[in-house]
């Protein structure tokens, strides 16, 4: 009877020895976690106490999976910008640190998707599959990492490509009063990037849901969503989401640029962004300045647009072209936010309400628009006609104003005015109908050669379409030289003008006997 317990004793001894060894080797891992308390909730912001180690721009987690961003780090409490629905939050609720900054999903998985600044899908096509995440706030590329702007970004709009050219890596401001076609111009530029090896990011900031839906529908209908990412904050979203939206969109664009791709980003529009930042700053008791904007309103836009650049070939040679949009009030270009953006960007395209009302679309005011960088990247064929065209158009605009007084005009002045009217008619273009490079150059060369001067004004649209269709007859070698040659040769110019002349021959009025 005693033999059985004696055989079991060594088994128990080994088991207890093993347990003792594991117990002695175990070190409890205590993870300290800072938990704060909500002291006050206001429109889009919250005041939190009890998080002494929180850093600026760090994400904090609220009940109900709502995130917030530490915006004011004061001695006694922190001001947090809320990034979601906050109706259920109240004083006394728990707040936890996350230990990370605001980031967004990037990579090929976001192409063709409509997302919010937090990377959540809004298009109902399932979760976003992202290869990595990047912080929304990133330092801009160093000066020595940048390369000159040398390649044009074709918008498909004759007036822009010829007179206000944009280069890849440039920042070109689009500004004008409301309802003058700013978004339409930006969307047309996105549509024209099809088959151009350019990816696009469209960032809608504080827009009406119907306006965003219309823009996305246009992009889908024209097949542009295949190379486009749409980042959306609607007008009824918290101001915090509107504030981080352009930074999140830029991080998405930068991921493609750093992979060696050419990227176009549209911010529509930074007026809403500035107002969202003003709202948050005033609620958090930051000192107001001019027009109640905080003192660093210039810096929030400059650090955003400094991220648009053209990288050196050693870094992949990618580029990020920015088209920020600004809404002016009563054509006041010298207001606070417009002048800030004009001084940050490399040029501006101004859309005039007067031209819009006359039916001149796109309503680009050539006299008040400028591109300070794009001219270096413009194709030689455009440069051959742009100077003469701009001068003739400027002369026409001055003489047209003068002729309204009913003064008697000499023959030379009437010729300049008639030629100018045909330039204006040719620079008109319907929405969502970009024109190819050979077709644009054919029309512009026909204009400078005065081939349209004998066409009646009411037949100009049909005559221009005839010339655009005739551009398909340009020999392949000439078309290739239009894109690559450093100078438009006289032979190529003569070939193109002759094609345009033959196309217009049937439309010119027959001389009277």
Q: What's the rounded Cα separation, in Å, for the pair 95 and 34? A: 8
Q: Is 350 helix (H, G, I), strand (E, B) or coil?
A: strand
276 with 206: CB under 8 angstroms? Answer: yes
Helices (H) and strands (E) in the chain, counts: 16, 16
Catalytic pick from 208, 290, 372, 414?
Answer: 372
176 with 351: CB under 8 angstroms? Answer: yes
Q: What's the rounded Cα separation, in Å, for the pair 251 and 429? A: 33
Q: Is 419 helix (H, G, I), strand (E, B) or coil?
A: helix
Q: What's the rounded Cα separation, in Å, for the pair 122 and 127? A: 9
267 with 327: CB under 8 angstroms? Answer: no
237, burial (CB in 10 Å: exposed 0-12, middle 13-18, buried 19+): buried
333, burial (CB in 10 Å: exposed 0-12, middle 13-18, buried 19+): middle
Q: Encoding tokens for residue 506?
A: 């049937």
Q: Which one, of 328, 332, 370, 324, lies nearest residue 349 by Cα? A: 370
* 194 given a catalytic annotation: no
Residue 356 has phi, psi (to 5 degrees) of -60, -45
The residues that are catalytic are: 372
């Amino acid at each position: 009877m005693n033999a059985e317990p004696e055989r079991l004793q060594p088994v128990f001894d080994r088991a207890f020895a093993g347990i003792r060894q594991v117990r002695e080797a175990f070190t409890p891992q205590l993870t300290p976690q800072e938990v704060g308390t909500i002291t006050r909730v206001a429109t889009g912001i919250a005041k939190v106490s009890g998080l002494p180690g929180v850093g600026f721009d760090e994400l904090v987690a609220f009940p109900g999976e709502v995130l917030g961003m530490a915006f004011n780090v004061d001695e006694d409490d922190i001001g947090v910008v809320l990034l979601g629905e906050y109706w259920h939050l109240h004083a006394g609720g728990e707040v936890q640190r996350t230990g990370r900054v605001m980031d967004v999903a990037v990579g090929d998985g976001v192409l063709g998707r409509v997302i919010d600044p937090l990377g959540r899908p809004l298009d109902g096509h399932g979760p976003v599959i992202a290869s990595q995440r990047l912080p929304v706030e990133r330092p801009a590329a160093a000066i020595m990492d940048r390369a000159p702007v040398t390649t044009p970004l074709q918008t498909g709009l004759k007036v822009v490509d010829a007179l206000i050219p944009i280069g890849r890596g440039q920042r070109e401001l689009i500004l004008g009063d409301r309802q003058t076609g700013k978004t339409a111009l930006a969307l047309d530029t996105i549509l024209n990037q099809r088959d151009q090896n350019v990816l696009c990011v469209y960032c809608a900031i504080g827009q009406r849901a119907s306006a965003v839906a219309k823009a996305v529908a246009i992009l889908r209908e024209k097949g542009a969503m295949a190379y486009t990412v749409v980042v959306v904050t609607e007008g009824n979203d918290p101001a915090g989401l509107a504030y981080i939206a352009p930074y999140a969109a830029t991080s998405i664009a930068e991921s493609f640029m750093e992979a060696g791709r050419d990227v176009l980003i549209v911010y529509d529009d930074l007026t809403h962004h500035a107002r969202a930042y003003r709202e948050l700053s005033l609620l958090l008791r930051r000192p107001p300045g001019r027009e109640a904007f905080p003192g660093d309103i210039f810096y929030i836009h400059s650090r955003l647009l400094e991220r648009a650049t053209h990288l050196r070939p050693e870094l992949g040679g990618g580029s990020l072209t920015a088209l920020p949009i600004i809404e002016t009030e009563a054509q006041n270009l010298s207001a606070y936010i417009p002048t800030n953006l004009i001084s940050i960007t490399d040029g501006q395209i101004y859309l005039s309400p007067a031209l819009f009302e006359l039916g001149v679309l796109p309503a680009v005011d050539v006299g008040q628009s400028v591109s300070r960088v794009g001219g270096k990247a413009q194709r030689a064929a455009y440069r051959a006609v742009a100077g003469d065209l701009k001068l003739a158009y400027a002369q026409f605009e001055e003489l047209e104003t003068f002729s309204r007084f009913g003064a008697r005009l000499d023959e030379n002045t009437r010729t300049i005015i008639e030629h100018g009217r045909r330039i204006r008619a040719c620079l008109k273009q319907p929405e969502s109908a970009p024109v190819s490079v050979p077709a644009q150059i054919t029309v512009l060369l026909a204009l400078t050669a005065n081939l349209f001067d004998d066409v009646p004004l009411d037949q100009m649209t049909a005559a221009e379409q005839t010339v655009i269709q005739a551009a398909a007859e340009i020999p392949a070698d000439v078309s290739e030289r239009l894109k690559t040659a450093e100078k438009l040769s006289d032979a190529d110019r003569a070939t193109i003008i002759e094609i345009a002349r033959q196309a217009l021959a049937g439309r010119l009025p027959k001389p009277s006997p």
